[in-house]
Amino acid sequence: MNHETYRVVPRATAAGIGIGLFAAAAIVVWFAIRWMNASTVEFERLFEQTPEQAALEIVRRLRMYAWLYGGSLLAIAAWIAWMAARIIRTQRMPPPGSWIVEGQRTWEGTAAVKRGRILRIVAAALALLAGGLFVTLWRLAGTIAVPGP
């Protein structure tokens, strides 16, 4: 492996970054659960007072989730596809200029191209999942009966 074409991160630094990212994800999940619990109480209150307004709010949120989740997965799929294209073009995995952990294995030639093609398939599958999730949430929102004016 030629370290001159990669940005090498010491193992301790990589472990610290990994622990920090895991902790950040745990905090985000904790806040999301609290927000969902608060939303449940809010919806129950709305349904008791004005069911029409509650239905409108549920439709609005489902459509917002469709955009957020579908868009997020599609962005990840696009990044994976871009990385796969770089791997196939350079015939190196990870592509030159990437950050790697000290001692990380790298591949060149047909082994790298094979992994790049697999990543291309993963990106396509993730893009299909994103589209399916978007359509499912959007249609689910459309099944909620919202009274007209």
Q: In angstroms, how far is CA 31 from the centroid of its own chain?
A: 18
Which candidate, 66, 45, 56, 61, places its Cα nearest to that of 145? 56
pTM: 0.81
pLDDT by residue for the chain (149 residues), tens digit each? 555 689 999 999 999 999 999 999 999 999 999 988 888 888 888 888 888 888 888 889 899 999 999 999 999 999 999 999 999 999 999 999 999 999 999 999 999 999 999 999 999 999 999 999 999 999 999 888 766 65
Closest listed residue to residue 10, CA positions, set 102, 105, 104, 106: 102
Q: How far apart, in whole angstroms, are the C-alpha atoms of residue 25 and residue 133?
A: 22
Q: How far apart are CA 127 and CA 51, in angstroms?
A: 36
108 membership: H or E segment, kind and range = strand 107-108
